[in-house]
Amino acid sequence: MTVRVRIVTPITTQGFRRPEEVKALGGADITVDCVEVDAGPASIECAFEVALAAPGTIAKVIDAEKHGIDAVVIDCMADPGLVGAREAVAIPVLGAGQTAMHVAAMLGHRFSVVTVLKRLRSQFEQAAATFGLGGKLASVRAIGIPVLDLERDLPATERALVAEAERAVLDDGADTIVFGCTGIMGCAAAVREGLLRRGVDIPVVDPIPTAVSMAAAIARARLSQSKTAYPAPPDKSVVGYTQIGIGIELPTAAE
Amino acid sequence: MTVRVRIVTPITTQGFRRPEEVKALGGADITVDCVEVDAGPASIECAFEVALAAPGTIAKVIDAEKHGIDAVVIDCMADPGLVGAREAVAIPVLGAGQTAMHVAAMLGHRFSVVTVLKRLRSQFEQAAATFGLGGKLASVRAIGIPVLDLERDLPATERALVAEAERAVLDDGADTIVFGCTGIMGCAAAVREGLLRRGVDIPVVDPIPTAVSMAAAIARARLSQSKTAYPAPPDKSVVGYTQIGIGIELPTAAE
Amino acid sequence: MTVRVRIVTPITTQGFRRPEEVKALGGADITVDCVEVDAGPASIECAFEVALAAPGTIAKVIDAEKHGIDAVVIDCMADPGLVGAREAVAIPVLGAGQTAMHVAAMLGHRFSVVTVLKRLRSQFEQAAATFGLGGKLASVRAIGIPVLDLERDLPATERALVAEAERAVLDDGADTIVFGCTGIMGCAAAVREGLLRRGVDIPVVDPIPTAVSMAAAIARARLSQSKTAYPAPPDKSVVGYTQIGIGIELPTAAE
Amino acid sequence: MTVRVRIVTPITTQGFRRPEEVKALGGADITVDCVEVDAGPASIECAFEVALAAPGTIAKVIDAEKHGIDAVVIDCMADPGLVGAREAVAIPVLGAGQTAMHVAAMLGHRFSVVTVLKRLRSQFEQAAATFGLGGKLASVRAIGIPVLDLERDLPATERALVAEAERAVLDDGADTIVFGCTGIMGCAAAVREGLLRRGVDIPVVDPIPTAVSMAAAIARARLSQSKTAYPAPPDKSVVGYTQIGIGIELPTAAE
Amino acid sequence: MTVRVRIVTPITTQGFRRPEEVKALGGADITVDCVEVDAGPASIECAFEVALAAPGTIAKVIDAEKHGIDAVVIDCMADPGLVGAREAVAIPVLGAGQTAMHVAAMLGHRFSVVTVLKRLRSQFEQAAATFGLGGKLASVRAIGIPVLDLERDLPATERALVAEAERAVLDDGADTIVFGCTGIMGCAAAVREGLLRRGVDIPVVDPIPTAVSMAAAIARARLSQSKTAYPAPPDKSVVGYTQIGIGIELPTAAE
Amino acid sequence: MTVRVRIVTPITTQGFRRPEEVKALGGADITVDCVEVDAGPASIECAFEVALAAPGTIAKVIDAEKHGIDAVVIDCMADPGLVGAREAVAIPVLGAGQTAMHVAAMLGHRFSVVTVLKRLRSQFEQAAATFGLGGKLASVRAIGIPVLDLERDLPATERALVAEAERAVLDDGADTIVFGCTGIMGCAAAVREGLLRRGVDIPVVDPIPTAVSMAAAIARARLSQSKTAYPAPPDKSVVGYTQIGIGIELPTAAE
């Protein structure tokens, strides 16, 4: 049985994910594709943008289920719309943030998140605490490069990741690293190599490949989020979201 | 100095708040008004609806600041859009949920939330934990009446509130009650009386009056949310929210 | 309706509070006065002194209720006698410490307490943990100036407050500051200005004005501490406190 | 070397401790005596009474050190004045409550406190949390007999203790019992026997004998409370406690 | 690339795992085999048996690495020898207990463990707390059937699992179920069906298939436990384990 | 009544404990002896070695009970085999680690563990958390000297202990020190003196003398670990441990 996993990228910057890198996340019996949202911010770097990304993300998750997708991964460490999307569908929906942090917690004693901007620190601290992993989070460190600039000078981005990861290990007591932005995807091997050259031997968790593997495994095991934990939303009028596909079937929807 | 407090009601059901009850929340040197959102659900009873309510709520908070309002209260115990709104403006923004739980935590040792539907339990548990008040939350109980039906038979609603509050005290060890839905506003005195008649002497926190008082006190003290905790969002393109007033000034915004 | 709030200053140093600064804490419909205790230490800087301050504080709270006061604020960040006083009366009794820490927890993600002496650190840590706010406390910092010397060189005190607050933000990750001694009252605006000049934009919570506002709001809402949480003490002989007004009505009291 | 342990009973009821039962707590190289306080309540059953008991308790601990006592045990599960007394002297001061809860935490996974009155529940919960043992506390149960009535019908007291201890094990998941009032001293063997007859095999911790043993062991090992944690109080005027021996040496003390 | 996963069953009961059920856990690019330990208990139902199972388990993990296995799963919810094995090898070693609890924590808000014997409750509570998941554990329930009797009357075992799982949901607030013994493997679908027939819609996590999927995904991503968290043991004499393959290469080993 | 305490040293290095230093731990009515294990590592410095030490330790505890010993202390801060041993016998079994950490938690607000190797940090952090003392642990520091080298240059060991203890106080906020290896036994007075000379006045807990005193006090009070918490293991075949005395009476045991 082949499992179909869809990545929902909750931003509106066209071409953020290259088709070939998405396809390469699949395997012998997993196919992976990717969609972006129709409404939302160009990138996600604060709670304001998380809030604007959530409705479009949920719309794309609903759409994925309608088209026979087996599992969805939300492509942002802030997990925008995760809980609402889990309510809205029956297929498993995984957040890159929640999944990567749980996996990191299994690989060591304390992990650090290395992210783009310092302002995201408290967001990761609260997310970790909500997942029960507050005590496993050694630190949140930032490289000071905005999401949309990460690939502008990739070697510089990788050097900054290595430098902050090393400080996380030496200064903060981390023994595992999680990338704190899915835009960094693909650098894990290079960062791990860079750290090894400095004598630091730790796993580097790349959230999207990790979450795709987990999503496929969960779907294959015929598991999904608990519908007792995430029951379907009540049938109710919603105003203003028909353009992105929410509310379109509700008789009283208006705009 | 008169403080102007605005209540943002994050749903699209017209007439949910009566002008006279809103005005009565003011005082000698506080004026209070109320607006509803332009996009969002008819009422809020799950995370899916919280996600759909947030963008419109943030838009109205931004609008309030533009019009010289001194402080805003978000009129839903789920605090939709609270963090994003705090980033977006400089005036103090309070959530009914966060404020009421902190006040309850000051009045006793353990509080229970009495809300509308059982499915909201984990939302309150997670919110309390995020605020640091997880250990103060005795239980979440529900009366089984949807938000939009609360006023259909008000005496029945009040009887149900008294019954669940009494069980919270006797079975769960609560010593303080918080209403878990702002739609119950105005019943606190009746519920406290009903409990006293059964020999239960506990405070009953009505979230909106409490949050309005707190918001006015914070504004009067020239305090507000920390801009170090809630820095302004980056200047960035946002797609799809021009109709509700977000993104309109960004040159690359499109729809 | 005018709310009468009384500040009970739990020390025996005459003239610690100036009548005009106390009166200025009131407003359109709030009047504020202040009393000192008859027995206790000259100032409070350790647990030994907290213990000696508590009986006199409770006596003054009982006295306030007898004289028709609507709400009481205990004027020390250690909240001496708070729980016992809440048992002894029906009117709301607020501690400056508990109230200020809850308000700080609402304004940001993590607050630091800037207090007088380093030895008070564990007292604040334990208090924050008891309130549920242990995870919100970034640090406790001290300026190294005893309570009774705070006003000796006020500009120096303010400079020290700014310096420690800045370190709390930069080194400890705080985004909100709470004064850790009510003797510092009145400096919040100056300290906030000083921090802004150094590029640090954070709220500075002045505990007594904050607690007075909260006490008035709670009294106006006809709330008070839960008598299920703080039931009245049993009727019982007490020896040795008749001079400060406790035990005077108990037939078996002796000295 | 013989270790001299003094029990300070923080109430003013004469004859609460019988000399022979106190002496029997000693051994080959431990002598034990007991004093009551000069000021305070007849018994301790609430926070109001804890506050009134603390100054007299501290005075007696200071006095014990002056008279060459090697270690002191405060004879109340609420540990009145414990922290202040630890600051005031160099000899080890143990609280019955703190010591018994730590020992219980070493003997099993979860302990229940069986105390006199239900109103003490939150006091024990907060104390356990402060000691770090909140997660080890299965429940607080009460037999509904006031302190001064415990010996009125001793078999009834023991039956009530057995009944509540059994419920703690069967209903609350406790595997160890701590008496929640030092007035119950001497019943542990009988209660353990009563539980064994009902098929419940659990240790029953009698706080005063346990704390006396611990105090002697700590003194013999030349340990004491950390003076870094509990530094001596500042030299300062104290008003109103000369009668119970506090403040008498301070030049500015007045009454 | 095919990933080779080995299951180490840490007991000495021959034939506990049937080759065909082990092989069926593999897939298109995963092969799975299974070995039992040479020394240890017949089954694991207490900490005494966990201690006796650990050395043999570690020996088999070392052996697996020597034979080119890519990842190991320890086949017991108590994770015997997990930490020591992770130190001893470089290939990823997963415990059924840790992995299943993390997956359950991702599928809902609160999970219950349904295990064989009531005496295992505190073991699961402590393990969950160590993983950071203490707050996600709704309850531990037991069916009262020893490990080696689980297959004696499989329909009875499944009925008992359904009954306890249902009580976990209705009485304890669980929304996800984890089997608390790997001996129950293969019943998840039947138990989920049984629960659905009673109107309870929750995921049922079968630990071994889940851990095998996770182990393969981790190995495929070239991740493993952090060697900073789990550094190799010092080179040192070990007495008494040569028969099970530990210590054989150490020059000073003796027996 | 004389209490007989046995120290079980869970390593196979002959002569690690000198008979005279063991005997000196006794007193007027306590006799102390010591045995080493028959199988296990030369010393314990990682989880791998803890696992190999546990079966032999449990065997010696069972043996101690058979020979009329009143209480056992396991002579390693990692408490190898503690829980299994407590299940296997009725006499009290104390771990040096658990006991020393509880005593340290009673003497101050926050303790630091000063141990041999840095790699042990997470072991102590997890142990402290399991005991409920995670919030009391200021830090784990290491002197970088392996267990078997501690006495090679005792003055150097003591200097290193003083240096790390001082940093724990000044940098980590500790107010109490616990030795993190029982091999350091006997240095507490010298380390405390060394710290006092640097102006640091804190208690230094030497785990073995502390645990021996506690074990004697517990045995004398006729207390022991709860058999409800630590019930006897099921009667069951065990393979491979007959040489160290486990399994010898089980009919199906084989090797």
Q: Which of F118, F119, F122 to mutate to test the interface with A (most CBs of A within 10 A)?
A: F122
Q: How confident is the model at residue F207 (pLDDT cuts 50, 70, 90)?
A: very high
Q: Decide if B109 contacts B172 (C-beta within 8 A).
A: no
CA distance D243 to chain C (A): 9
Q: Which subunits count as partners of chain D given 3+ CB pairs below 8 Å?
A: B, C, E, F
DSSP label at B90? S
Contact A3, A30 (CB under 8 A): yes
Nearest to D130 among C47, C87, C126 (CB): C126
pLDDT of residue D91 exceeding 60? yes
Is there a contact between C209 and B221 if contact means CB atoms under 8 Å apart? yes
Q: A108: nearest CA in chain F?
A: F122
The helix/strand/coil state of D115 is strand
Closest chain A residue to C108 measured between Cα atoms? A122
Cα–Cα distance measured from residue B194 to residue B184, given in angstroms and rounded to the nearest whole number: 15
Q: Could you tell me which residues of chain E have a Cβ less than 8 Å from any Cβ in chain B?
A: 109-110, 135, 173
- pLDDT band at residue B247, thresholds of 50, 70 and 90? low
Please indicate whether, in this complex, the C-beta atoms of B173 and D129 are within 8 angstroms of each other: no
**Cα separation, D175 vs B27, whole angstroms:** 56
pLDDT of residue C245: 75
- DSSP, res E226: -
| Two tokens, residue B105 | 């935590």
Instruction: Identify the helix (H) or strand (E) that includes residue A199.
Output: none
Residues E111 and E173 sit within 8 Å (Cβ to Cβ): no
Q: What is the pLDDT of residue E248?
A: 38
Residues of B in contact with A52 (CB under 8 A): 55, 58, 84, 238, 241, 246
Instruction: Report d(CA E209, CA C172) in Å as an integer.
Output: 44
Which pair of tokens denotes residue F4? 């007989």
What is the radius of gyration, based on Cα positions, of chain D?
A: 18
When pLDDT is cut at 50, 70 and 90, the band that residue A250 belongs to is very low
| Chain A interface test: which of B36, B45, B119, B236 (most A C-beta within 10 Å) | B236
Contact across the interface for B227 and C133, Cβ inside 8 Å:
no
Mutate to test the interface with F, among C46, C123, C124, C125 (most CBs of F within 10 A): C125
pLDDT band at F137 (very low <50, low <70, confident <90, very high): very high
Nearest to F231 among E52, E81, E119 (CB): E119
Quote the minimal CA–CA distance from C83 to chain D in Å: 6
Interface probe, candidates E118, E119, E122, chain D, greatest D C-beta count within 10 A: E122
Structure tokens at F55: 């079966």
Express each pLDDT in B191-236 by its tens digit: 999 999 999 999 999 999 999 999 999 999 999 999 999 999 999 9
Point out the least confidently predicted range of A42-51, B87-96, C239-248, E118-127: C239-248
Please name the amino acid found at residue C101.
M
The pLDDT of residue D244: 80
* Interface contact B110-D122, CB threshold 8 A: yes
Cα–chain-centroid distance for residue D183?
9
pLDDT in tens, B161-190: 999 999 999 999 999 999 999 998 999 999
* Host H or E run for residue B80: none
E209: enclosing H helix or E strand:
helix E207-220
Residues in chain D closer than 8 A to E125 (CB atoms): 109
Q: What is the pLDDT of residue C247?
A: 61
Q: What is the distance in angstroms between the CA of the first residue and the CA of the last residue of chain C?
A: 43
With beta carbons less than 8 A apart as the criterion, state whether D35 and D61 touch. no
Query: What pLDDT digit, counting tens, does each position of F219-243 carry?
Result: 999 999 999 999 999 999 899 898 8
Q: In chain D, pLDDT over 70 holds for what percent of residues?
A: 96
The answer to whether chain A touches chain C by having 3 or more C-beta pairs less than 8 angstroms apart is yes
User: Taking CB atoms and an 8 Å limit, are D110 and E121 in contact across chains?
Assistant: no
C-alpha B114/C-alpha B181 separation (Å) is 8
Which residues of chain A are within 8 Å of residue E201 when distances are taken between CB atoms? 226-228
Work out the mean pLDDT of chain A and round it to a whole number: 94
Is B246's pLDDT higher than 90?
no
pLDDT band at A132 (very low <50, low <70, confident <90, very high): very high
Tell me which chain B residues have a C-beta less than 8 angstroms from the C-beta of E135.
129, 134
Predicted pLDDT of residue F39: 93
Mean pLDDT value of segment B43-69: 97
Q: Which residues contact D52 (CB under 8 A, 6 or more apart)?
A: C55, C58, C84, C238, C241, C246, D39, D40, D41
Query: In this prediction, does ipTM exceed 0.90?
Result: yes
The answer to whether C228 contacts B136, with C-beta atoms less than 8 Å apart, is no
Residues D11-39 have pLDDT tens digits of: 999 989 999 999 999 988 999 999 999 99
pLDDT in tens, chain C (255 residues): 799 999 999 999 998 999 999 999 998 899 999 999 999 999 999 999 999 999 999 999 999 999 999 999 999 999 999 999 999 999 999 999 999 999 999 999 999 999 999 999 999 999 999 999 999 999 999 999 999 999 999 999 999 999 999 999 999 999 999 999 999 899 999 999 999 999 999 999 999 999 999 999 999 999 999 999 999 999 998 988 887 777 633 333 333
Amino acid at A196: L
Dump the DSSP string for D221-252. TT--S-TTTSPPPPP--EES-GGGTSSTT-TT
Mapping DSSP onto H, E and C, the string for F86-148 reads HHHCCCCEEEHHHHHHHHHHHHCCCEEEEECCHHHHHHHHHHHHHHCCHHHEEEEEECCCCHH
Angle made by CA atoms C37, C39, C40, in degrees to the nearest 5: 90
CA distances for B1 relative to B28, B70, B217, angstroms:
10, 11, 12
Q: What are chain B's partners, defined as 3 or more CB pairs within 8 angstroms?
A: A, C, D, E
Cβ-based contacts under 8 A for chains C and F: 7
- Other chains touching F, judged by 3 or more CB pairs under 8 Å: A, C, D, E
What residues of E are in the D interface, CB distance below 8 Å? 121-122, 125-126, 129, 134
Region at A185 (left for phi over 0; alpha for psi -120 to 50; beta for the rest): beta
Residue A81, pLDDT > 80, answer: yes
Cα separations in angstroms, F71 against F77, F84, F204, F241: 17, 15, 24, 24
Amino acid (1-letter code) at residue F168: A
List the structure tokens of D2.
Answer: 């013989």
Q: Given B81, B126, B236, which is nearest A51 (Cβ)?
A: B81
pLDDT score for B132: 93
pLDDT band (50, 70, 90) for residue B250 = very low
Report the phi/psi class of residue C79: left, alpha or beta, with left for phi > 0 and alpha for psi in -120 to 50: left
Q: Is the pLDDT of residue F47 over 70?
A: yes
Segments of chain E with pLDDT less than 50: 248-255
**A6 to chain E, minimum CA–CA distance in Å?**
17
Q: What is the pLDDT of residues D168-201, one digit of tens each?
A: 999 999 999 999 999 989 999 999 999 999 999 9
Q: Is F14 exposed, middle or buried (0-12, 13-18, 19+ CB in 10 A)?
A: exposed
Helices (H), A33-95: 47-66, 82-88
Q: Kindly report the CA angle at E178 between E63 and E61, in degrees rounded to 5?
A: 5
Residue B22 above 50 pLDDT? Answer: yes
Q: How far apart are CA E21 and CA E75, in angstroms?
A: 14
Strands (E) in D1-79, as ranges, are: 3-9, 30-36, 40-41, 71-74
Q: What is the pLDDT of residue F48?
A: 97
Q: What is the pLDDT of residues A209-228, one digit of tens each?
A: 999 999 999 999 999 999 99
Percent with pLDDT over 90 in chain B: 89
* CA–CA gap between residue B154 and residue B162 (Å, rounded): 12
Q: What would the mean pLDDT of D111-118 be, rounded to a whole number?
A: 97
Rg of chain E over CA atoms, in angstroms? 18
Which residues in chain B have their CB less than 8 angstroms from residue D121's CB? 173
- With CB atoms and an 8 Å threshold, state whether B229 touches C175: yes
